[in-house]
């Protein structure tokens, strides 16, 4: 059910709008004291994934899925790793294909709907028979991957997977994608687009016939980029077909375990349809929390090492 009365007290005074709440932590927040052990695993299609482990010897494991053009080193991943380790829970932060320092082998990259790689990670963990309990956390795009995974599995979800929580998550991808057309969001559009175009140049060196570099350089917005590159590489018709097909709200009604969604009302990258109030009202497995403040992956607390939302995920999951 929806909870519209979040207890987030708000950020430090100098973060006085959603953009500052988003940008300042992204650029300047550092989380120290997290040491990963890396493991490389194979995927069913002949590729690989890099998994970064932070273990404390627990029988419970948190699996964290990062955001668009992020990786296991992002502050929001390290924050969860450090906080959950302090509460005696092992953490596995997996890196999407092309993320985490290595270019992958196959033509495909990753996207909001590539839950098949999260499935590969979870199946790998289950084979070890090391953990009695697995809990999932996803941030932004990683939240969409997590919700898609849970909805696709439905009642056939492995019984070891007990709970999930996501935040700053585009529950409706067309609605979220439309925010990047707004002039006020040019900073985010240009930053993401620049990084993704860099990935496509690397793909062109691997597969010369796959990428039209002249067309790539002419692309100025996500509709064009996702039509000519993301959709083409991953088997969709165009950007709109891609957004609609991988949108988590297509699958969220089938989620079968307690799942927390925290999306700030002033998140500049979430449209109105990213707040699934109606679904949360009729589906007991979904708890939707909508703080008034927080921005996108922000939620800073004055004088605190961890963010409010990291504490919120700990309270819900652990």
Residues 14 and 129 in one domain: yes
- Residue 246's pLDDT is what? 98
Quick one: which H or E segment has residue 289? strand 286-289
- Residue 314's pLDDT is what? 98
Residues 205 and 161 in one domain: no
- Residue 6's pLDDT is what? 87
Residues 91 and 212 in one domain: no
Residues 124 and 45 in one domain: yes
Burial level of 10, CB count in 10 A (0-12/13-18/19+)? Answer: middle
- Residue 186's pLDDT is what? 96
- Secondary structure (3-state) at 117: helix
CATH classification at residue 54? 3.40.50.1820
Residues 143 and 226 in one domain: no
Rama region for 164: left / alpha / beta (φ>0; ψ in -120 to 50; rest): beta
pLDDT at 3 over 70: no
Q: For the chain, report the end-to-end CA distance as a whole number of angstroms.
A: 20
Residues 224 and 111 in one domain: no
Angle of CA points 90, 93, 95, to nearest 5°:
160
Residues 141 and 59 in one domain: yes
| Alpha-carbon span 197 to 206, nearest angstrom | 14
pLDDT at 238 over 80: yes
Alpha helices, H only, the chain: 18-28, 75-86, 115-128, 141-153, 173-179, 186-206, 213-218, 222-225, 231-234, 239-246, 277-282, 308-317
pLDDT in tens, 110-165: 999 999 999 999 999 999 999 999 999 999 999 999 999 999 999 999 999 999 99
How many domains are there within the chain? 2
Q: Provide, rounded to the nearest whole percent, the portion of the chain with pLDDT above 90.
A: 98
CB-based contact 197:225 (threshold 8 Å): yes
Residues 115 and 8 in one domain: yes
pLDDT at 306 over 80: yes
Residue 80: what are its φ and ψ, rounded to 5°? -65, -40
Identify the bridge partners of residue 64 per DSSP, sorted by sequence position: 93, 137
Cα-to-chain-centroid distance, residue 245:
17
pLDDT in tens, 93-124: 999 999 999 999 999 999 999 999 999 999 99
pLDDT in tens, 188-237: 999 999 999 999 999 999 999 999 999 999 999 999 999 999 999 999 99
- Residue 4's pLDDT is what? 60
Average pLDDT in the chain: 96
- Residue 192's pLDDT is what? 96
Residues 89 and 167 in one domain: yes
Both tokens of residue 40? Answer: 């490389």
This prediction has a pTM of: 0.97
Domain that holds residue 153: 2-172+255-317
- Closest C-alpha among 277, 297, 306, 273 to residue 18: 297
Both tokens of residue 171? Answer: 């529950």
Q: Average pLDDT for residues 269-282, to the nearest whole number?
A: 97
pLDDT in tens, 12-48: 999 999 999 999 999 999 999 999 999 999 999 999 9
* Interstrand relation of 60-65 and 286-289 (parallel, antiparallel or unpaired): unpaired
Q: Which residue, 190, 213, 246, sits at the end of a domain?
A: 246
Residues 166 and 141 in one domain: yes
Residues 113 and 218 in one domain: no
Q: Which residue, 216, 246, 276, sits at the end of a domain?
A: 246
Residues 167 and 25 in one domain: yes
| Alpha-carbon span 138 to 119, nearest angstrom | 14
């Amino acid at each position: 059910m929806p909870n519209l009365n979040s207890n987030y007290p708000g950020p430090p005074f100098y973060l006085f709008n959603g953009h500052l709440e988003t940008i300042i932590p992204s650029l300047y927040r550092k989380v120290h004291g997290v040491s990963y052990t890396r493991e490389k695993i194979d995927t069913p299609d002949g590729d690989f994934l890099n998994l970064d482990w932070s273990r404390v010897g627990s029988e419970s494991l948190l699996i964290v899925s990062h955001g668009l053009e992020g990786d296991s080193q992002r502050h929001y991943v390290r924050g969860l790793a450090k906080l959950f380790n302090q509460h005696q829970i092992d953490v596995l932060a997996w890196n999407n294909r092309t993320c985490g320092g290595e270019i992958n082998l196959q033509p495909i990259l990753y996207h909001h709907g590539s839950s098949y790689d999260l499935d590969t990670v979870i199946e790998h963990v289950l084979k070890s028979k090391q953990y009695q309990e697995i809990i999932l956390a996803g941030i932004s795009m990683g939240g969409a991957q997590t919700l898609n995974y849970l909805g696709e599995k439905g009642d056939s979800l492995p019984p070891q997977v007990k709970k999930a929580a996501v935040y700053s998550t585009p529950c409706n991808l067309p609605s979220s994608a439309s925010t990047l057309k707004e002039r006020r969001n040019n900073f985010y559009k240009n930053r993401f687009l620049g990084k993704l175009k860099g990935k496509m140049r690397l793909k062109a060196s691997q597969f010369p016939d796959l990428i039209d570099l002249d067309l790539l350089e002419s692309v100025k917005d996500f509709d064009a980029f996702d039509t000519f590159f993301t959709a083409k590489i991953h088997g969709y018709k165009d950007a709109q077909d891609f957004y609609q097909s991988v949108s988590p709200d297509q699958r969220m009604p089938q989620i079968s375990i307690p799942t927390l969604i925290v999306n700030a009302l002033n998140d500049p990258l979430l449209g109105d349809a990213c707040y699934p109030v109606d679904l949360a009202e009729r589906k007991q497995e979904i708890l939707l929390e909508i703080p008034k403040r927080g921005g996108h992956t922000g939620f800073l607390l004055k004088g605190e090492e961890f963010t409010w939302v990291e504490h919120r995920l700990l309270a819900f999951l652990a």
